[in-house]
Chain A
Amino acid sequence: MAVIELEDIEKQYVVRTRAGLFRRERQIVQAVSAVNLQVNKGEMVAYVGPNGAGKSSTIKMITGILQPDGGRIQVLGMEPMRQRVQLTRKLGVVFGTRSQLWIDLPLQDSFALLRHLYRVEETRFKRNLDELVDRLDLSTFLDRPVRQLSLGQRMRGELAAAFLHDPDLVVLDEPTVGLDVVAKYAVRSFLADINREYGTTVLLTTHDLDDVEQLCERLVIIDEGRVVLDGSLGDFKARFGFERIVVVDLEAAVEPLEIDGVDVVERNGPRQHLRFDRRERSATDVLAAVAAQHSIRDVSIAEPTIEELIHRFYLE
């Protein structure tokens, strides 16, 4: 069953820019162009793209905050803007850069308020809250005002808030932004567990590709408002993950090395970054060629990060 269905979705913003003292110019920003996306029940999908690609705009249309300017949109079988109240009852939303909690109230008061807004019955609420407190380890700061929480603590609170009412779909816009490794790990394992145990559908945006690697089977890449790739991370890597980078530290700073089938992508004093295609040459092969010209002090082999791969993908 399709939980999210977007067909040729469009979104434009009207921006007024200053063009002189009194004159203001109207400009249309095309944020989302003809986006098609179908997410099925139980899927966990990463929605990735560079800054300004249109990720948040898409999410705001899915969650009923923004009205699309064209196309067809169905979420949990409903039309988000028109059936906002019904839809949001089954929706959990986290915005990494904007709190959904009451900043001056203790965390548990926010939860109690949300219980009323979502009309979660008392026993179910208690059960869910206990479980969330346990999974997200909230017990030590439940009674502290949200404004006093660290970013990592707050984000765990935000996650709990999004799951209190047993949502069928959870949408997260950069849930790991600004978190340290430990907090990121906590967020990821929580999402993975919930998705596995309850089959909750999850759509998340991120700039941290470890999130994608560790959480999502499916990757949707958007750039300049258009979906440019929709597939599995495995496919993506098979297609673009054949590059290797060898970093060599030589005895001295020398001219860029000249070796067949190898590009010097970065040079930093005696350190050079050599890029090659692992289908054509092996690393030992490349190193032998380097050693034939200069003496080598140290070597490391780097697999390009998915971020670099996607970046190159954008450039093509």
Chain B
Amino acid sequence: MADVRGGLRAAGYLAAAQVRSDWQYRSAFLLAFAVQAIVALANVVAILIVLELTPSLGGWSRGQVLLAYSLVGLTFGLADALFSALEDTGEMTRTGDMDRVLLRPVGSIAQIVGRNFQLRRIGKLVPPIVAFVWAVPRVDIDWGLWTVGYLMVTVVSATAIFAGLWVVSGAVGFVAVGVRRFSHSITYGGQQASEYPLHLYPRWVRLVYGWVVPLAFVAYLPVIVLTAAPNPLGIPRWLGYCAPLVALALCGAARLAWGAGTRRYQSTGR
């Protein structure tokens, strides 16, 4: 536990240093910031249009569809803001910058995350929050301690699932340097695939993005459990309570993958 805290603290200091470094190039920094603000604004406009146009899909009401969308967006956005820096693993392997990370007495994931931290990624959280606020009054949830607890556990587990995916795709970067696209097909691809109800997809997509990459647990099953949404695939309801276990298993596997990647790191000849 002290380990995790130390890692968090170190990541914080590194992130602050990153921001200060960026601040050295003030105009670029401010420009990027302005661009991000515009993008965030455009996102809000876009989500308002989506809210208007979302139909009911495959038996799911607009509220249910948007609740699933917002859960995916929120949890993916959190994991993305914190962990997507790991996509630089391949680049850091290619340039040998990983040497520096491995020479310091702090966990390597914490260092990379801190070192490549970008505040602007938080902007992605705006649309899902808007969608969530819009969707909640339009679905039939029996609000109580239990449902609020379930929702919170779901958000934490789903964020952990996405974080695990980022770690796995980062670990691949130690070995195969040019895999950014492949990694993105897992992470961003997973996000996009899980924005719509799973039963709308052909079988192979359901298999890949529902269960192999276990994204059914992120939003699809929770919406079924919470709002009694139609379940045409006949998935057992108890699976809807397994998100924490799946998250734990995935994070454990991700940790192993990261270790295996580190041991295969070859550095550079310089």
Contacts and interface: CB of A to CB of B under 8 A. Distances in A.
A98 B17 CA distance: 19
A91 B263 CA distance: 20
A285 to B, nearest CB: 49
A60 B21 contact: no
Contacts of B100: 98, 100
Interface in B1-53: 6, 9-10, 13-14, 17, 20-21, 24-25
A66 B267 contact: yes
Contacts of A109: 17, 20
A119 interface: yes
A91 to B, nearest CB: 8
Nearest to B14: A113
Contacts of B104: 88, 117-118
B105 interface: yes
Contacts of B147: none
Given A85-B105, A89-B105, A109-B17, A65 B24 contact: no
A295 interface: no
Contacts of B13: 113, 116-117
A60 B17 contact: no
B132 interface: no
B270 A98 contact: yes
Contact of A81 (B25, B105, B107, B263): B263
Interface in A201-216: none
Nearest to B3: A85
Give chain B's interface residue range (CB within 8 Å of chain A). Answer: 20 to 34
Contacts of A81: 262-263
Interface residues of A, dominant DSSP = mixed
B20 A66 contact: no
A64 B102 contact: yes
A86 B14 CA distance: 20
Interface in B146-167: none
B24 A145 contact: yes
A65 B265 contact: yes
A88 B267 contact: no
A292 B34 CA distance: 86
B263 A67 contact: yes
B20 A95 contact: no
Interface string A89-133: 101010101101011110001000100111100000000000000
B103 interface: yes
Contacts of B10: 116-117
A272 interface: no
Interface in B222-236: none
A65 B267 CA distance: 8
A13 interface: yes
Given A88-B105, A119-B6, A113 B99 contact: no
Contacts of A84: 102, 105
6 contacts: A81-B263, A103-B21, A104-B21, A105-B20, A105-B24, A113-B17
Interface of B: 6, 9-10, 13-14, 17, 20-21, 24-25, 96, 98-100, 102-107, 262-267, 269-270
Interface of A: 13-14, 56, 60, 63-67, 81, 84-89, 91, 93, 95, 97-98, 100, 102-105, 109, 113, 116-119, 145
Which 8 pairs show the lowest CB-CB distances between chains A and B?
A104-B21, A89-B105, A88-B105, A67-B263, A116-B13, A104-B24, A65-B102, A85-B105
